[in-house]
């Protein structure tokens, strides 16, 4: 494992303090993809049967989903699956965590009994163009529906009630005036349907407004089909599967949350103790929030229906960015709505467009070095705890 290149270290204080942040967090999709592919030769020395696989997007062949996979060298006991960039713009943080994991935790795995499936960017187009969706405006984490033919486009009537607020169909003209109007309309909707109803309408996912936010799509997306194939290949090569999926956006600003599927039988309290990690939540309205078409839910359903003999634990790392106060959640919503508005309908000036873009990026990929260092520290604690809990190290 000595061939793996270590990140330059600063004066040691803690995990986050010793990492060279400039090298860990990529500046572009291309730089991230190149760095990931460069690891293949190193990993192939450890797993001789390893493959570097690429799926160019059909309408954007210069952009691709890339992954490195291999079964264990001697036995198919365990598979470690690491996924990033299901929401494209979140891939900048996801790429950093994947790089950190490759350099610091892959060397701890036993290649004789443990295989790897490392996925670089489920939504590469979204990462490249710094959007949360794919080219069809589909939110990948609302598209993993078991039978998409059973989708009812009207299943989320709450969204229909606030669709004009969440998806204004006009040019963005003035930041000061637009922000004031947005705030007043927000208060009006909040008092009209209540805080919980309003938040659920926004976050659950919707399938009837293709240019709106959290649109799940009425067809299985190309990227989702690729990931489903990767899942099946992983299940077929092991008796135990562990998936670590990277996300950003929701939660306390300086504390990552482990988010488990509602189909995971163990409680959040059990995971806090067994994984030695302080913040764990199930994907339900009581502990986190609920969505339709969640990827981690899908992998649990796939195991239940087609691979019941395989032990599974799949979880998401959710790195909070703005925070959870009422103002911070409002700010996050505004950033997403205005980014989507400007993308489809434009802004009156380049300055307005730039401000909207900057706020949107901060909501999913914070520029703060302090934030990045704490994110690495949290990830390190969770990596170590989960791998020990599941018997991978």
Q: How far apart are the first and last CA of the chain?
A: 15
User: Do 160 and 214 meet the contact criterion of CB atoms below 8 Å apart?
Assistant: no
- Smallest CA-to-CA distance from 274 within 384, 380, 375, 377 is with 384
Q: What is the pLDDT of residues 220-229, one digit of tens each?
A: 999 999 999 9
Q: Can you read off the two tokens belonging to residue 267?
A: 């409680």
**pLDDT tier, 195 (very low <50, low <70, confident <90, very high otherwise):** confident
Q: Over the chain, what is the mean pLDDT?
A: 94
Q: pTM (2 decimals)?
A: 0.94
Classified as helix, coil or strand, 59 is coil
* Residue ranges of the chain assigned to CATH 3.40.630.10: 21-147+219-321+367-389
pLDDT number for residue 321:
98
Mean pLDDT of the region 313-328: 96
Q: What is the pLDDT of residues 63-117, one digit of tens each?
A: 999 999 999 999 989 999 999 999 999 999 999 999 999 999 999 999 999 999 9
Please check the confidence at residue 1 and state whether its pLDDT lies above 50: no
CA 13, 35, 238: angle at the middle one, nearest 5? 90
Answer yes or no: is pLDDT of 5 > 60.
no
Q: Compute the average pLDDT of residues 39-56.
A: 98
Residue 2 confidence (pLDDT): 36
Query: Which of the residue ranges 17-21, 184-188, 367-371, 372-376 would you say has the lowest mean pLDDT?
Result: 17-21
Domain 21-147+219-321+367-389 has CATH 3.40.250.10: no
Give the pLDDT confidence of 235-276 residue by residue, as tens digits: 999 999 999 999 999 999 999 999 999 999 999 999 999 999
Confidence of residue 325 (pLDDT cuts 50, 70, 90): very high
Give CA–CA dist 298/363, Å, rounded: 26
Output the pLDDT for position 13.
57
Are 262 and 283 contacting, i.e. CB atoms less than 8 angstroms apart? yes
Query: In this model, does residue 7 exceed pLDDT 80?
Result: no
Q: How confident is the model at residue 6 (pLDDT cuts 50, 70, 90)?
A: very low
317: pLDDT strictly greater than 70: yes
Judge whether 217 and 288 are in contact, CB under 8 Å.
Answer: no
pLDDT at 4: 42
pLDDT (tens digit, 9 = 90+) per residue, 139-176?
999 999 999 888 887 889 899 989 999 999 999 999 99
Position 11 pLDDT exceeds 50: no
User: What share of the chain has pLDDT > 70, as a percent?
Assistant: 96
> How many whole angstroms from its chain centre is CA 93?
9
Q: How many CB atoms lie within 10 A of CB 241?
A: 24
């Amino acid at each position: 494992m000595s061939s793996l290149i270590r990140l330059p270290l600063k004066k040691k204080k803690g995990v986050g303090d010793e990492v060279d942040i400039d090298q860990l967090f990529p500046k572009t999709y291309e730089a991230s993809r190149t760095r990931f592919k460069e690891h293949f030769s190193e990993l192939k020395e450890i797993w001789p049967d390893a493959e570097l696989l690429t799926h160019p997007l059909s309408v954007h062949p210069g952009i691709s989903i890339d992954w490195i996979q291999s079964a264990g060298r001697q036995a198919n006991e365990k598979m470690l699956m690491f996924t990033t960039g299901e929401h494209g713009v979140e891939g900048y943080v996801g790429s950093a965590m994947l790089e950190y994991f490759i350099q610091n935790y892959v060397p701890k795995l036993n290649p004789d009994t443990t295989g790897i499936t490392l996925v670089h960017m489920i939504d590469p187009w979204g990462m490249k163009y710094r959007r949360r969706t794919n080219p069809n405006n589909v939110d990948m984490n609302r598209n993993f529906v078991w039978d998409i033919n059973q989708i009812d486009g009207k299943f989320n009537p709450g969204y229909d009630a606030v669709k004009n607020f969440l998806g204004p169909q006009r040019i963005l003209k003035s930041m000061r005036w637009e922000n004031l109007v947005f705030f007043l309309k927000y208060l009006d909707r909040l008092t009209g349907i209540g805080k919980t109803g309003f938040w659920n309408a926004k976050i659950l996912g919707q399938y009837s407004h293709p240019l709106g936010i959290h649109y799940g799509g009425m067809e299985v997306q190309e990227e989702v089909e690729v990931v489903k194939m990767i899942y099946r290949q992983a299940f077929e090569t092991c008796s135990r599967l562990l998936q670590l999926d990277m996300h950003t956006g929701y939660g306390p600003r300086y504390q990552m949350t482990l988010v488990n599927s509602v189909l995971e039988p163990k409680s959040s309290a059990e995971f806090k103790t067994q994984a030695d990690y302080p913040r764990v939540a199930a994907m339900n309205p009581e502990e986190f929030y609920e969505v339709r078409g969640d990827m981690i839910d899908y992998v649990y359903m796939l195991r239940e229906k087609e691979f019941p003999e395989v032990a599974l634990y799949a979880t998401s790392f959710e790195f909070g960015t703005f925070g959870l106060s009422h103002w911070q959640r409002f700010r996050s919503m505004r950033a997403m709505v205005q980014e989507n508005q400007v993308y489809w309908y434009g802004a009156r000036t380049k300055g307005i467009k730039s401000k909207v873009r900057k706020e949107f990026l901060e909501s999913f990929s914070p520029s703060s070095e302090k934030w990045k260092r704490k994110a690495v520290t949290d990830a390190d604690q969770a990596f170590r705890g989960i791998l020990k809990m599941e018997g991978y190290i």
